[in-house]
Amino acid sequence: MKKVERINVIMRYINNRSHFTISEIMREFNISRSTAIRDIREIEAMGMPLVAEVGRDGGYFVMNNSVLPTVRFTDNEIKALFIAFMATRNQQLPYLKSRQSLAEKLLGLISENQQDDLIHLNQILFFEGTNPHNPDLLELSDLPHPMLEKLIQILLMDSYLLITIKEEKGIKSYPIYLLHLYHEKGLWSIEGFDLKNEKRKIFPVDNLTNVEPYPTKKRLSKKKILEKLSRQEEVINLVLELGPKAIDQYKKYHPFKVSISYTNPYQTTAILKTFIDVKNPEELTEITNWLLFLGGDIKVREVPEEVLEGLKQRLSIRIK
């Protein structure tokens, strides 16, 4: 570990402890006593208010109500942060105005040479959704749905929600336990357990009109929710193994409730598990068409007979 990186990590390490010793620093960071002492002295010189305790069991502690001094970044760390900011443009992310102020502060912390490097990166790197005629990092043209930040603020305190959704037939409210909030294909979605109908359901954030905590007395415990979800997953009747070509097709289009789990670190193979309601003609047709869309780079572990029959009929029509 380089010195700059080690100093930053040591500062975070000691700032989270009421007391520490030189020996602890030596063991934790695998450095010599002289190096540990030099690092501590340098951290003190940077402004961290350390108080030394003399004696056999002596050591150091950080004064209460102290502020962690400015963290120093390496050139590569600055580039990594800046590129991460660039990649978030046009993604309708929450707290977008905070992203703007963070970028301004980052630019203000670094040298002119480092600023020149970032300006160059901003000119040559383009991510999906970047406007080539105006690649300004600080442009706020991708504001998310106005309810998104309110939703996140409530989620930080409570996962039991009463959400109001705008649907084709009008406005409807759902009591849910939130499982995930995710961003896919440029859209934010809520994956929750419908407490009234006791099943998993997906809600688009764009259709959200209100959100508030759900009353405590009417709640189902988290343990019972997970048990019910586990039992529902036992009825899975479509299981596929996807290769790289099928994964590419999946990314282009997939039924909204179908998700995959990658089975290797390179995300070139995946498994898909879901339940197909074979009594629903529309869903049966949709899944049949989609399986043909995925192509031949799939292995079928389990499939309903009705889906298999539909595939045979579609393929026979194509052959004729």
Residue 83 maps to a domain: yes
Q: Is the dihedral of CA 283, 288, 293, 296 positive or negative?
A: positive
Residue 68 maps to a domain: no
Is 69 exposed, middle or buried, given 0-12, 13-18 or 19+ CB atoms closer than 10 A? middle
**177 and 246 co-located in one domain:** no
The rounded distance, in Å, linking the Cα atoms of 98 and 85 is: 11
Which tokens is 292 given?
């043909």
**273 and 223 co-located in one domain:** no
Residue 133 maps to a domain: no
**53 and 10 co-located in one domain:** yes
Residue 137 maps to a domain: no
**209 and 192 co-located in one domain:** yes
Residue 143 maps to a domain: no
**185 and 218 co-located in one domain:** yes
Residue 136 maps to a domain: no
Q: Can you give the CATH number for the domain in which 44 is found?
A: 1.10.10.10
Distances (CA, A) of 128 to 17, 90, 100, 186: 43, 8, 19, 10
Residue 311 maps to a domain: yes
* Residue bearing tokens 């930080």: 156
**182 and 222 co-located in one domain:** yes
**152 and 223 co-located in one domain:** yes
Q: What string of pLDDT tens digits covers the 320 residues of the chain?
A: 778 778 888 887 887 777 888 888 898 888 999 998 898 888 887 777 787 776 555 688 777 655 555 566 778 888 888 888 777 766 677 777 777 777 777 777 777 888 888 888 877 777 765 655 655 555 555 667 888 888 998 988 889 999 999 987 889 999 999 998 888 767 788 989 999 888 888 888 889 999 999 987 778 888 888 888 877 665 788 899 999 999 999 888 887 667 788 888 788 899 998 888 777 787 788 888 889 999 989 999 999 898 888 888 887 755 44
Residue 32 maps to a domain: yes
Q: Which domain holds residue 215?
A: 148-232
Q: Can you give the CATH number for the domain in which 155 is found?
A: 2.30.30
The answer to whether the beta carbons of residues 290 and 254 sit under 8 Å apart is yes
Q: Per the structure, how many domains does the chain have?
A: 4
